[in-house]
Structure 1
């Protein structure tokens, strides 16, 4: 009996060994990284849908917003619209990450950098320090910053983009001077900085230029909100300026400025929007908007990079001549053809250098002294 059992065991082992030899050897512990082999499919793979996302290898662009968020109806929204155009026109794979507070800038930049897109866009001058640090720590990642510049060549992988917002602000200041019926206008600023000074001095210079042309004195009120996201504060500040006699207010304050538009609508006053054409927010009250075409910059500069242009370590400036700033298409709803023609002439004088719009206190003082 024992010999029979032993013989059966030996035969079983021989059979197993033969089976293993036929399969290529003895079994091993499966590797966690090795792909499993599959039998060939009997049918061809399905064709991708026409609206499928770009395939691997497509150019990719990521955007980190400022605190206003992607739907701020202003600055960030314009940038995202540029990204969406890149997706529809050029097949770019796009994404965004919203910042809710200043402390989000660095971790948000780090998070999108982990995905290694072809370019990371930082939206807003408040992000400058965080983006500079990211560029220094990640020399192989390309970055671009909207609304501020770096020292030329300081970061070979970073691009600074600035706008001559003083030029469009001058135009809407001129418009305000012509539209005011109380000879009293106002300006609401979100936060002070050299970038925002372009709006501040450009607008007041336009008001003064228009007043000089019309031969009248125009009172000018200024309010600083110290926030781009406090709609209630913006509304309260605008209400006070309107109550004090201003009938036209220009805001450069992001979502804070949306409050000024609400005040204009409720009090039936005139208001001037910023960044985007904001007439849709109050069609009867937003008489024009000073455009900062952030979306155009995002679209154009990304396209130049896709075409092989090396822009790292440089700064790009966009003004009236480059289509970076302007006034809203909806302006003809509230401005006469005669006034729009005057604005067109003024715009050409700026482009030609006949009028140099100030954006610092010193230059503003000199500008007014020479009127």
Structure 2
């Protein structure tokens, strides 16, 4: 039988440690070689690691939040050779979210990862129904359960850097923030951005607007509305706009690309890398939120035997958030100053606010 790649041998070694015995083996093309020690019983049986991922609004292809989660699963499939299944919502209802999570659990998917805080209510219910399944949820720590892991981020830190970059780049001294839904999670982005801008350039004016307000969560999938808000900001003199609104951010990019001298700041992923050619050069930077790292590390932890619930926080120190420098020509003049701000956050000199 042909040897497996080196990564597979490393993964097997990690699993052997987790099971407190030496395990060896090889799989077929239809059966990934990475396995986890089966819980319970007197033996040390093996079970195939079969991950389930439930996307938030927009699903894979949003070039933002969901794509970041998808990248984490893709990496786990490649490097850890897990089997992965994805579900996308057909409608935005609590019943649909519950049904999709239950579907993954009934298939024997474990762990099951819910992408986005909107899954919280459904996950609380389904996790109680399947106590032997490990669940994880991105962006929510509103409840605790022995089999639920909350993956949360220091969005205010990355947004502080984005604010500094925006203020330093602005010619007018006016920058803007557009949030998807007016709620505490998105207000962390707003608070960090406004504080970072004010510190980098005292006197800078920050315009703020949101696409929707709870119970309307449609602001994450309304690029037309984001475009209209962005156009209004640009007409008022704002020349750098940071949008934290999932797929709605595409609307801001459109508006900014049509305005000469204006800049957009992306969110979640490095959007300069994925944006269409027509808007790409208008992206100054992106506040990178490493949902991909969180998803990958949670799968990795499960493989190594970690089944406990709790909260895992991803910040600058853990490479959980940051800012992108892909648009080298645009960022280079600011990078030294923004990196200095980053160091001040890391050493505790600066603590970005989490509320506006």
CA deviation after TM superposition for structure 1 residue 117, in Å = 1.1
Gaps of at least 5 residues in structure 2 are: 1-25, 36-46, 213-218
CA deviation after TM superposition for structure 1 residue 150, in Å = 4.2
In structure 2, relative to structure 1, the CA distance for the partners of 1:54 and 1:48 (3 Å cut) is closer
Q: Which of 337, 347, 350 matches 2:345? A: 350
- The alignment status of 1:228 with 2:220, answered yes or no, reads yes
In structure 2, relative to structure 1, the CA distance for the partners of 1:242 and 1:53 (3 Å cut) is farther
SS in 2 for 1:267: coil
Identify the residue that residue 299 of structure 2 maps to in structure 1: 302
Aligned positions of 1:12-161 closer than 5 A = 52=30, 54=32, 57-103=47-93, 104-151=96-143, 154-161=144-151
Gaps of at least 5 residues in structure 1 are: 1-46, 362-371
Contact 2:325-2:331 at 8 Å conserved across structures: no
Q: Would you identify which runs of 4 or more consecutive aligned residues in structure 1 move more than 2 Å?
A: 47-50, 52-58
Deviations 1:324-350 (A, max 9, x none): 00011414231125x212211211111
Q: Distance in 2 between matches of 1:122 and 1:111?
A: 12
Contact 1:332-1:340 at 8 Å conserved across structures: no
TM-score, structure 2 normalization: 0.82
CA deviation after TM superposition for structure 1 residue 49, in Å = 7.0
Deviations 1:8-53 (A, max 9, x none): xxxxxxxxxxxxxxxxxxxxxxxxxxxxxxxxxxxxxxx9875x45
TM-score, structure 1 normalization: 0.79
Q: Which of 271, 292, 304 matches 2:264? A: 271
CA deviation after TM superposition for structure 1 residue 174, in Å = 0.4
> What is the alpha-carbon root mean square deviation over aligned residues?
1.7
Aligned positions of 1:209-288 closer than 5 A = 209-212=199-202, 217-226=203-212, 227-268=219-260, 269-279=262-272, 280-281=274-275, 282-288=279-285
Identify the residue that residue 21 of structure 2 maps to in structure 1: none
Q: Distance in 1 between matches of 2:329 and 2:106?
A: 47
